[in-house]
Structure 1
Amino acid sequence: MDVKTFFFYLFSLVMLFAAFRVITARNPVHAVLYLMLAFSQASGVWLLLQAEFLAIVLVLVYLGAVMVLFLFVVMMLDIHIDSVRQGFWRHFPLALVIGAVISLEMAAVLFGGFRVNEARPMPDTVAQVAGQVAQASNTKELGVLMFTQYLYPVEIAAVILLIAMVAAIALTLRERRKDNKAIDASLAVRVRSRDRVQLVKLAPTQAPVPVEAAPAAPAEEAKK
């Protein structure tokens, strides 16, 4: 067993364990963390398959943005685990049937794709092209393709994303909104220390309650 095969089995085992823990973890935060671990192991498998671009995109997009967003949402939500678990065994047969159907469909697709046909001699030209493709960097080829043949679609998508980002910021920071707590930066800079805290003397709204005098202690107890 070479080093590449060892890392493939290592990443695969850890990814399968993390995927199993995603659906069996009792705590939603732990489930999200296991899902992030599964994505990281999948990116390692893609690196072994020489798909560097997909591995980097998986780490940046899913681990760096989407999963962090999921984690913050799950942590901010007040999820009652006991109420979520109610009715689990009632829906378990239907979930088991759906899971079995999905597993059979995936198995049919995978076994159909991994069938090995009879080995046929490869022509010299095809062998040369295959050797050139194996030596080329898929990230470089993808970048050249995106910024040459698909340059205008990439620029249009970038402009649309920029407009969406600016519009989201503008809608969030509108001063007309009643629930917006906007602060003028010029006023914050010119603030003085004596203006930060101001003590105001207010008149009492209720009259003080008179304290009743305690009864006098007996003479014998006073002596003791």
Structure 2
Amino acid sequence: MTLAVDAVFYLFSIVCVVSALMVVVSRNPVHSVLWMITVFINGAGLFVLLNAEFLAMVLVIVYAGAVAILFTFVVMMLDLDFTGPALRSKQTLLVGLAVGAVLLGDLFVMLSEWSVSPKAEALRASPTPDLSTVSNTVALSRILYTDYIFLFQTAGLILLVAMVGAVLLTFRRQRHQRQDVSVQLARSKSETLKMNRVENGKGIS
């Protein structure tokens, strides 16, 4: 049984890492979103192995079922040029590699200075609350809305700003002339109507 669980764990982990890599390297943003959905599904499988069914369900329903689909619609509404010169520019590639190198260096520095705090060791020894008396959903909600309530609200504000930004990106400047209702109503008959006497056999010049 343990061997089977380990095999499933490594399967989910490998697919999740490869899918995350494809999210970054894919040229088409729609393909990146589809790979991101694959990451969410495999992450949900890892949560199931950890007996965190609620987190697995939330990851599939909220992220894979709503957020990723929202990203797909936003990308489609933006109507981006996937084959434009900006995507094939060597300068863009060099800038991306430089930013990636800086982030990778920060990650190495962080990992070199990382250590487990005594509080984390205490929580690992005795989870709070006791998971043997409550379900993982109740345990998660108690910790999330007590110890981490401010971080939870901050994350909600960040998501709100991201949503507003996505909506603003879909707005385009109107090219047609907008009608001013007050100006239209203020016009007189002489300004809007012109009578021409047309002779027989002749048109209006």
TM range (shorter): 0.5 to 0.7
2: distance between equivalents of 1:52 and 1:111? 33
What residue in structure 2 maps to residue 28 of structure 1?
29
The residue identity in structure 1 corresponding to 2:49 is: L
Give me the whole-angstrom Cα distance separating, in 1, the residues matched to 2:5 and 2:109: 28
Provide the aligned length of Structure 1 versus Structure 2.
144
CA–CA distance in structure 2, aligned partners of residues 146 and 28 of structure 1: 33
Provide Cα deviations, 1:126-181, integer angstroms capped at 9, x if missing partner.
97x46x946453213234678999xxxx9xx9xxxxxxxxxxxxxxxxxxxxxxxx
Letter in 2 for 1:142: L
For residues 31 and 108 of structure 1, the distance between their equivalents in structure 2, rounded to whole angstroms, comes to 28
- Paired with 1:97 and 1:28, the residues of 2 have a C-alpha distance of 21
Aligned residue in 2 for 1:52: 53
Within 1, Cα distance between the matches of 2:65 and 2:113? 35
- Alignment counterpart, residue 139 of structure 1, candidates 134, 137, 142: 137
Equivalent residue number for residue 37 of structure 1: 38
Normalising by the residue count of structure 2, what TM-score does the alignment of the two structures yield? 0.54
Q: 1:99 Cα shift?
A: 0.9
1:95 paired to 2:92: no
Q: Are residues 91 and 29 of structure 1, via their aligned partners in 2, closer, same or farther at CA, if it must alter by over 3 Å?
A: closer
Normalised by the length of structure 1, the TM-score is 0.50
8 Å Cα contact 2:44/2:55 also seen in 1? yes
Shift of 1:40: 1.2
Aligned CA distance change for structure 1 residues 144 and 100 (closer, same or farther; 3 Å): closer
Alignment of 1:145-164 (within 5 A): none
Could you tell me which amino acid in structure 2 is paired with residue 88 of structure 1? S
Question: 1:74 matched to which residue of 2?
Answer: 75
CA gap of 1:8–1:107, structure 2 versus 1, over 3 A, is farther
Task: Give identity over the alignment, percent.
Answer: 37
When residues 3 and 112 of structure 1 are mapped into structure 2, their CA distance, relative to the original with a 3 A threshold, is: farther
Q: Could you say if the C-alpha distance between residues 87 and 29 of structure 1 is closer, same or farther in structure 2, counting changes exceeding 3 Å?
A: closer
1:27–1:148: structure 2 CA closer, same or farther, 3 Å change rule?
closer
CA apart distance, 1:65: 1.2
User: CA 1:10 to 1:110, structure 2 compared with 1: closer, same or farther past 3 Å?
Assistant: farther
Change (3 A) 1:105 1:147: closer
Question: Deviation at 1:109?
Answer: 3.6
Whole-Å Cα distance in 1 between the matches of residues 143 and 91 of structure 2? 52
User: 1:33 & 1:9 partners in 2: Cα distance?
Assistant: 21
Aligned-partner Cα distance in 1 for 2:144–2:91: 50
CA distance in 1 between counterparts of 2:20 and 2:26 reads 10
Residue matched to 1:3: 4
CA shift, 1:111, in A, is: 5.6
Say if 2:19 and 2:35, in contact at 8 Å, map to a contact too: yes
| 2:79 partner SS | coil
Larger radius of gyration: 1
Counterparts in 2 of 1:10 and 1:61: CA distance versus 1, 3 Å? same
Q: Which runs of 5+ in 2 are unaligned?
A: 117-121, 148-152, 157-205
* RMSD between aligned residues: 3.9
For residues 64 and 105 of structure 1, the distance between their equivalents in structure 2, rounded to whole angstroms, comes to 32
Greater relative contact order (CA < 8 Å, ≥ 6 in sequence): 2
